[in-house]
Structure formats: C-alpha cells, structure tokens
C-alpha cells in the first residue's frame, strides 16, 4: 500500500511539475533523397534549426537525407501513412499521388529564367497547385528551388540528333518521358538512389539533373559528356501530412509556418550558388567534358522537344500550361 501511494505521489508530482523537462518534443521526421550538401539538404537543416528555435524546443525535426529511410516512391507512401511527417519531393514526382498537374514544371524550356519561375511558384498559380494536394491528405507548404537541369551521358549530347537511341534515366514524370522520346532517346524511370550505379554499369547512358545533384552523387565520375543546356527546371514542394499538421497546437503551427517561410528564402538563396559551385567543381575535376551551347544551339534543342506541348498539355491542363507561359514571360 505504502509503495502504491508513493508511486501515485510521483505520478501526481509529474503532472503538476513544470512541464519543460517532462514533456516529450513533437517529432517531425523529414525524409529526402539527396545529399545534405545540396540546396534541399541545406534547407531541410535550416528548417530544423528554425523550427527548434521558434517553438522553444517543442518541435524536434529529424532530417533523414540520401534515401536513408525511403526511396522516391516509398517516401510518398510513408507520408500518407504517417510514418514520416514531412518531405520535399521534386515536382516531377507528384504523378503517383494523382497530382499530375505538377508535371507542368517539367515542360522543356517553359521558364525563360528564375524570375519567371518565381512568379509562378511564389504567386497564385503556385498556391493553387499546392491546394490540389489537400484532398489527398497532404498540405503543401512551400516551393524550394534546386535549379535548371543539364543533360549528361557517356555519349555526346550536343545536338538533338546525338540523343537518338540513348537510354536516359528520368524521374517518374510522363512529361519527362515525352521529352526524352521527342529527342529519340529511350527514357527509363529510376529512383534517384540508383542512378549512379546505373550510369556506372551502363544500364543507362545518361540522365538530366541540376549540377548540384550531379556533383554530390558523383555522377560526373561516370559521365563522359554534359551539355549545360538548362533546358528544364527541377524544384521541390515541401509537403506535410495533413492530419499531423492540423493536429498541431495553433501556436506551434504558427511558429513552424514562420520557420518554413525563412527556410524557403534561405533555400532559394543557396540554390543558385550551390549549382554554380557544383558546375565549377565538376569542370575543374576534368572527368566530364562540358559543352556550353550557344543560344542557337540551345534553341535547336528546345525546338526538338516542342512536340511535348502538343502531347502533354491535356495531361496537366491546357489552361495551366498557357497561364504558366504567360506568367513566366511577363515583364
């Protein structure tokens, strides 16, 4: 009896004691597939730091990089099941969620520059797209940049004719599939974590990625040629499990919103420099031969990929394609 009342006393003391030491933090598992020293990797760490700061330690973000927890497709399932709370998949990977509109970002040469892109991602079109995730149990919080993609391969990739018959790894996007086919290449969907080995062993000849991804995965060590084509965009949507997000105390959610806003500014700031540095480092390594196309040579590539607009506009919505083209080109 005495024992029991003693333990009841301890339990009661726990209940009324200042909660700082006894309260478990809310854990956000943030899984991603790239290296920590990439734009997404750095931004995830920044969010972790700010989330801890603005919630006074009530929230603990655990970042799992490099497909450590899940590969591309699995991480989306894990988010929906609540096994992880936050992800930042590339916009090319939302098709399996039934949100194929996001593939509009994969259209070749659709953004003339970063300013045009930001008008879309930071404006009403971007917001409307994120809202499409809501009925799927997902809240879209922000867009994070990586950068513009370059082609690489173990065979030359200078002109459209060079691509004929080459096996090219792509992300799981039908628009990217159409893009590679428009060049006469053979697209192959593959998880990001498997690309290095596939390039090394010749399972595929080449791929496309922003320099930061190419460099941090050491793809330049297993690719002879690259074309600094900047022909398409690769960026991310930061997403969170809706049930988890809406179950958070209001003040905690507000603090996390603030942390996400600042992490987004940071993400978009570091992305440009990361890609410039990665390209310079790969050039300096001398392992890959980089081709810098003239405006006319790049235009020829864009022209060859134009059939994608005809073939894929219905998939993502003709109006959406038109509004993005208009917004991105507006001064």
Q: What is the contact surface with ligand LMR in residues (CB under 6 A)? A: 33-34, 40, 90, 146, 171, 192, 209, 213
How many whole angstroms from its chain centre is CA 27? 22
Q: Which residue number, 59 or 69, has a Cβ lying nearer to ligand LMR?
A: 69
CB of 40 to ligand LMR, least distance (A): 6
Cβ atoms of 93 and 172 closer than 8 Å: yes
Contacts of 309 (CB under 8 A, 6+ apart): 107, 321
Q: What does the DSSP assignment read for 116-174?
A: HHHHHHTSHHHHHHHHTTGGGTEEEEEEEEEEE-EEEESS--SSGGGGTT-EEEE-S-H
Q: Which residue number, 166 or 171, has a Cβ lying nearer to ligand LMR?
A: 171
Q: Which residue number, 50 or 237, has a Cβ lying nearer to ligand LMR?
A: 237
CB of 114 to ligand LMR, least distance (A): 17
CB of 192 to ligand LMR, least distance (A): 3
CB of 157 to ligand LMR, least distance (A): 17
Q: In what order do the strands lie in the sheet with 86-87?
A: 59-64, 26-31, 86-87, 233-241, 138-148
CB of 251 to ligand LMR, least distance (A): 32
CB of 288 to ligand LMR, least distance (A): 17
Q: Which residue number, 101 or 145, has a Cβ lying nearer to ligand LMR?
A: 145
Q: Which residue number, 201 or 294, has a Cβ lying nearer to ligand LMR?
A: 201
Angstrom CA distances, 296 to 157, 178, 299, 301, 302, stand at 15, 23, 5, 9, 10
Neighbours of 14 (CB within 10 A): 11
Q: Which residue number, 186 or 300, has a Cβ lying nearer to ligand LMR?
A: 186
Q: Which residue number, 54 or 148, has a Cβ lying nearer to ligand LMR?
A: 148
Residues facing residue 207 across a β-bridge:
152
CB of 97 to ligand LMR, least distance (A): 14
Look-up of token digits 């029991």: 4
Instruction: Give the Cα separation of 262 and 46 in Å (integer).
Output: 9
Q: How is residue 262 written in tokens?
A: 């600042």
């Amino acid at each position: 009896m005495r024992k029991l009342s003693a333990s009841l006393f301890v339990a009661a003391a726990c209940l009324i004691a200042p909660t700082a030491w006894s309260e478990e933090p809310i854990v956000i598992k943030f899984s991603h597939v790239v290296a920590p020293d990439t734009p997404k990797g750095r931004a995830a760490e920044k969010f972790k730091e700010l989330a801890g700061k603005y919630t006074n330690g009530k929230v603990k973000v655990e970042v799992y990089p490099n497909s450590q927890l899940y590969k591309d497709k699995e991480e989306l399932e894990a988010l929906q099941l609540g096994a992880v709370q936050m992800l930042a998949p590339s916009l090319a990977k939302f098709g399996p969620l039934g949100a194929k509109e996001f593939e509009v970002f994969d259209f070749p040469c659709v953004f003339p520059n970063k300013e045009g892109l930001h008008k879309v991602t930071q404006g009403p079109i971007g917001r409307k797209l994120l809202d499409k995730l809501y009925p799927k149990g997902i809240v879209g919080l922000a867009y994070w940049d990586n950068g513009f993609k370059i082609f690489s391969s173990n065979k030359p990739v200078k002109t459209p004719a060079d691509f004929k018959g080459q096996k090219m790894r792509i992300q799981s996007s039908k628009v990217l599939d159409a893009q590679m086919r428009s060049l006469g290449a053979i697209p192959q969907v593959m998880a990001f974590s498997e690309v290095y080995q596939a390039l090394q062993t010749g399972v595929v000849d080449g791929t496309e990625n922003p320099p930061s991804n190419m460099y941090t995965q050491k793809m330049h060590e297993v690719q002879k040629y690259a074309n600094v084509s900047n022909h398409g965009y690769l960026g991310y949507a930061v997403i969170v499990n809706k049930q988890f997000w809406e179950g958070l105390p209001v003040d905690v959610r507000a603090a996390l919103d603030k942390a996400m806003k600042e992490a987004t500014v940071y993400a978009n700031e570091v992305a440009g420099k990361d890609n410039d540095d990665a390209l310079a480092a790969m050039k300096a390594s001398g392992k890959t031969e980089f081709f810098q196309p003239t405006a006319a040579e790049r235009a020829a590539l864009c022209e060859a990929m134009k059939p994608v607009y005809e073939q894929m506009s219905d998939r993502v919505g003709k109006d959406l394609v038109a509004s993005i083209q208009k917004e991105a080109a507006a001064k």
